Chain A
Amino acid sequence: MTNHWIDLRNSDCLLIQGSNCAENHPIAFKWVMKAKERGAKLIHVDPRFTRTSAKADFYAPIRSGTDVAFLGGMIKYIIENEKYFKDYVVNYTNAPFLVNDKFAFDDGLFSGYDAAGRKYDKATWTIKKDDKGIPLKDPTLQDPRCVLQLLKKHYSRYDLDTVSKITGTPVKDLQTVYEMFSSTGVPDKAGTMLYALGQTQHTGGSQNIRTMCIIQLLLGNIGICGGGINALRGEPNVQGSTDHAILSNILPGYLKAPVSSQPTLDDYIKKNTPKTSDPQSANWWQNYPKYTVSLLKAWYGDKATKENDFGYSWVPKLDDGQDCTLLNMIDNMYEKKIKGLIVFAQNPACSLPNAVKVREGLTNLDWMVHVNIFDNETASFWKGPGIDPKKVKTEVFLLPAAASVEKQGSQTNSGRMVMWKYEAAKGPGDAVYYAGDAVIQIVAKLQELYKKEKGAFPDPILNLKWDYIDDKGRFNVVEVAKVTNGYFLEDVTIADKTYKKGDCVPSFALLQADGKTSSGNWLMCGSFAQDGTNLMARRKKDDPTGLGLYPQWAWSWPVNRRIIYNRASVDLNGKPYNPNRPLLAWVDGKWVGDVPDGPWPPMSDLKNGKYPFIMKPDGVSALFGPGLSDGPFPEHYEPLEGPMDKNLLSSQLKNPVMKIFSGPCDLYSGCDPKYPFVMTTYSSTEHWCTGGNTRWQSWLTEAQPQVYVEISEELAQLRSIKNGDKVKVESARGSLPCVAMVTTRLRPLNCGGQTIHLVGMTYNYGWLFPNDCGDSANLLTPTAGDANTMTPEYKAFMVNVVKI
């Protein structure tokens, strides 16, 4: 989230699209209701009418997988009706910047497309610069090559009629949503956008979010109270796990994973440290070397020296272009390229797409170690449906784990707030307390073996600074948190202030690139005070601004800032755009309010002032964003499996750069009459993810006992299905018996005269327990991923439903 949960109450208009907040974030939804009590309007756009829709002031249906078209139409509406916040757009976005003359877009493709390689050469996706390297701009926004005009041209094709034919949303519903939400494009109104997996789990998932960002920037809704682009992360700790790099493409703190063409630290830093020639741009990522070296010092301690590149050569490197995300990992397992697997607290046999392929892949392993609080369909895959245990060679070790409430540590919520929590009860027996306990022991064993047997490259293992064990020989969670924050490794004097060796580094602004500081994750730097006080454990309820920032309750990254990009909430002189909700103000030469996005004076100070979007090299936010692999402006493409045989906006039917898997289990149906209905999958309130924990809880299985498919009355009639009938849902990959739930909450959509039926299922079930609950909806989902992140396309694919 750019903002935070409590801040939702400050909004005037909340657009929830691609999220079922009421059901999947039931506690946090209270802040949505608080906004409504204040008179805010709640809009819900979703393929299904859910418990969120039931609380909305306005609900609009949408065909799953068409969000870019829906939101692209809103961009057109905002620009053509001049609903955008001009002052903000001119000063704080790249709308006035002039784009490379060779940049072009034609019939669904941007310039530089390589059809054979299914990728773009982004050479023309650039901003024109003057001889000093400063971007060329037209502050009047009239130049046909300025970003705003190109944006206008791009979305001019997204007219109401075309958008309605693609999305199935009636024209008048589109108009209502566009009007309601764009009413926040004025200084004293705030609109917020809430999304979750309903936006990300598509082959164009990243671009769905980009489209939302563009709207929020046009309306001046980023960096303000009650605004923002808010990803609703939840219990699976998506926020914390990405911050700490449980992804293969990043190191902690969103540093890039090194690749083999960057053999030295200098290569790596040169490649990843952005440059700017504009003196008013803070270009915060210029600190990349400091964060990298401090990370290496945290990992390798005294072994990391300037002479040996601080141990950079010991960090594993990806091959250039290599993608190690989950879908590829499963593919490799299926292809017998992976021998062993350690699974902590997951259930991939039910949670990953194309479970048929996943489950078969697991049989190819030599061994699997599974650490969990319950047995699940992954740990017991060898006795699952259709699998003969006698033919499975995999040796499985199931280790009992302590539950999250049985251990202390930090938890990061969706609003970047990191809160320290304590052990509420003892874990059972000899349960593995922390994943850290297991990792500590594995590494200790590896070190012992490398010492004894040497091996080809022992340095990365033997040189690890591995002193996280307390006096009882257990994983020391407090020490790991402190190392993550970072220490001064020598006495250091910065701006007349001396920090002693062994002090905690109280802010990432103090991290150094010379090896004198360590930090396991620069974003977490400041979570401990210099004297070692754990700020994440704070519980003070003061709210000096009255805006719900609660600055002394726990701690937020970065540097306890509660709303990021907050310097975009003020005008060039530092005066709040919205006097009723002043998040930040420049008063008597200093900032008052939230922790500002940098200490510099407002932009009107031409000498020392800085642009507000400090993480971008140009200092402004990017309406034109060349960072993604599939285009600098989002463009609508159909899902990998969709009901349309053509794209009404171009002759490019599918995302041109997404990976297409082609193994024997990677089966896809196009516009196939055998699989005529669009399916979307999701979770319910009553179960958590695959139900791996909740299905063992009788009060929850009582409330949601068995797998079901939600279908409309019209589809039920078409297939002669009655409410509660047993049916079978089939896709090109698998089939799943379940109960039909016939409901008015799903309705067929009219997509340009074509009737499209939508059906939906939760992925909360699995064959193991209870034995009559049914199996996973992921037996049906395709192995397909977002073109940028490889997040699976769980939300839009094709099925058939028949009575059994």
Chain B
Amino acid sequence: MSNGKSILVDTSLCTACRGCQVACKQWNNLPGTKTKQIGTYQNPQDFSSDTWKVVRFADGKKEDGKPYWYFFTDMCRHCVEPPCMYSIQNFVKDAVVRDEATGAVVYNEKTKTVPFKEVLCPYNIPRQNPKTKVLAKCTMCFDRIKNDMIPGCVKSCPTGAMVFGDREKILEMANKRVADLKKTYPKAMAINPDEVRVIFIVTDDPKKYWKFAAGG
């Protein structure tokens, strides 16, 4: 097996335009859900069976008293050794497929018989459709990749914050980018690059972006 594919998400380049959030819904035929303004730009508030990508907004004050506003375009990390896959396979052997060529972790309808609370995910990604009980999350746009197209979210990104490619190349890019960013942001890091295929780069403590950014 090759090392498969990866996505680099450089949050230092992300402007939270939410093109990726919308592109995800468009490609995957997911409906816009009914939301309310509750005092944040973030909406929908969280993942659901109809929402596989959420741009999370976190604001606060820096040490000098000036504001910060961090953006985290949350999605399934497509773990190299996916805890969800192993936990689901304890119940239904073929409800999850890890694609040989890409490493994409893809659920199917058979997940509906899996007890949802037994599904392990350090990043709190999978959600259950309340009616059908089928589990849902990002597919890495597996169907696009098979047709020589890059994932919808990556395609929509205007600033190049998201890049898709062969895992070795993405890891190399991540290392180089972190080294560059460290000159300005000493806390810059790639989050769990050896464990996940969707590798986030942050310039501050991951917890300031989102409590499950680096796994919970």
Residues of A near any B CB (own CB < 8 A)? 22-23, 26-27, 29-30, 33, 49-55, 59, 685-686, 697-708, 723-725, 739-745, 747
Contact A33 B26 (CB under 8 A): no
B26 to chain A, nearest CB (A): 7
6 residue pairs, one from A and one from B, having the closest CB atoms: A698-B32, A724-B39, A723-B39, A706-B37, A702-B32, A26-B17
A-B contact pairs, 17 of them (CB 8 A): A23-B15, A23-B17, A29-B159, A51-B16, A53-B69, A54-B71, A686-B18, A699-B21, A699-B32, A702-B43, A704-B41, A705-B36, A723-B39, A725-B39, A744-B59, A745-B59, A745-B67
Residues of B within 8 A of A51 (CB): 15-17, 69, 71
- The contact string, 1 if C-beta is below 8 Å from chain A, for chain B 125-161, is 0000000000000000000000000000000001110
> Could you list which residues of chain B lie within 8 angstroms of chain A, going by C-beta atoms?
13, 15-19, 21-22, 25-26, 31-41, 43-44, 59-61, 66-71, 158-160
A702: contacting residue among B33, B67, B159, CB under 8 A: B33
**In the complex, A55→B69 CA distance in Å?**
9
Q: How far is the CA of A725 from the CA of B36 in the complex (A)?
A: 12
A707 to B21: give the CA distance in the assembly, Å.
Answer: 21
Contact B22 A741 (CB under 8 A): no
Q: Could you tell me if A49 and B69 are in contact, using CB atoms closer than 8 angstroms?
A: yes
Asked whether A53 and B19 contact (CB < 8 A) given A699-B32, A724-B38, the answer is no
A54-B69, A59-B66, A702-B44 known; A741+B15 contact, CB < 8 A: no
A741 to B70, CA, bound (A): 17
Chain B proximity of A552: nearest CB distance (Å): 24
A6 to chain B: closest CB distance in Å?
A: 14
With A30-B158, A703-B22, A739-B38 known as contacts, the answer to whether A744 contacts B60 (CB < 8 A) is yes
Report chain B residues within 8 Å CB of A702.
32-35, 43-44
Cβ of B44: which chain A residues have Cβ within 8 Å of it? 702
Question: Shortest Cβ distance from A5 into chain B, in angstroms?
Answer: 12
- Asked if residues A705 and B35 are in contact (CB atoms below 8 Å), the reply is yes
A743 touches B22 (CB 8 A): no
CB contact under 8 A between A22 and B13, given known A702-B32, A745-B59: no
Complex: chain A residue closest to B13, CB-CB = A33
A30 lies within 8 A of B159 (CB): yes
The one of A22, A33, A705 that contacts B37, using a Cβ cutoff of 8 Å: A705
A29: chain B residues within 8 A (beta carbon): 15, 158-159
Instruction: Count CB-based A-B contacts (< 8 Å).
Output: 106
Q: Which A residues are CB-close (under 8 A) to B67?
A: 49, 53, 59, 743-745, 747
- Please name all residues of chain B whose beta carbon is closer than 8 Å to the beta carbon of A708 when the two chains form the complex: 37, 39
Q: How far is the CB of A54 from chain B (nearest CB, A)?
A: 4
| Contact residues in B for A699 (Cβ distance below 8 Å) | 21-22, 25-26, 32
Compute how far the CA of A53 lies from the CA of B43 in the bound complex, rounded to whole angstroms: 21
With known contacts A705-B43, A740-B39, A741-B40, A30–B33 Cβ distance under 8 A:
no
Most B Cβ at <10 Å: residue of A50, A55, A724, A741: A55
B residues near A55, Cβ cutoff 8 Å: 15
Determine how close the nearest CB of chain A comes to the CB of B28; give it in whole angstroms: 11
The minimal Cβ–Cβ distance linking B152 to chain A, given in whole angstroms, is: 12
Residue of B nearest to A745 (CB): B67
* Cβ contact within 8 Å between B39 and A22: no
Does the CB pair A706–B19 fall under 8 Å?
no
- On whether A27 and B158 interact (CB within 8 A), knowing A698-B31, A744-B61, the answer reads yes
Complex: chain A residue closest to B17, CB-CB: A26
A89–B183 CA distance with the chains assembled, in angstroms: 37
A723 to B16, CA, bound (A): 21
Q: Which of A33, A53, A700 has a CB less than 8 Å from the CB of B159?
A: A33
CB distance A33 to B160 under 8 Å?
Answer: yes
Please give the distance in Å from A480's CB to the nearest CB on chain B.
32
Query: What residues of chain A lie closer than 8 Å to B66, measured between beta carbons?
Result: 49, 59
Bound form: Cα–Cα A86–B25 in Å: 55
Q: Closest chain B residue to A21 by CB distance?
A: B15
Given A29-B158, A51-B15, A702-B34, 6 new contacts (CB under 8 A): A22-B15, A30-B159, A59-B66, A685-B18, A703-B18, A706-B37
A336-B22 Cα distance, complex, nearest whole Å: 45
Query: A241 to B32, alpha carbons, bound, how many Å?
Result: 34
B211 to chain A, nearest CB (A): 18
The docked-state distance in angstroms from the alpha carbon of A742 to that of B71 is 18
When C-beta atoms are compared, the residue in chain B nearest to A741 turns out to be B39
Find the A residue at minimum CB distance from B32.
A698
Min Cβ gap B32→A in Å is: 3
CA A538 to CA B33, docked complex, whole Å: 42
Residue of A nearest to B158 (CB): A27
Bound-state CA distance A29–B160 (Å) is: 11
Contact B15 A26 (CB under 8 A): yes
Q: How far is the CB of A749 from chain B (nearest CB, A)?
A: 13
CA distance A33 to B41 in the complex (A): 22
Residues of B within 8 A of A53 (CB): 67, 69
> How far does the alpha carbon of A723 sit from the alpha carbon of B33 in the complex, in Å?
22
Complex: how many Å from CA A742 to CA B19? 25
Residues in chain A near residue B68, CB distance under 8 A: 54
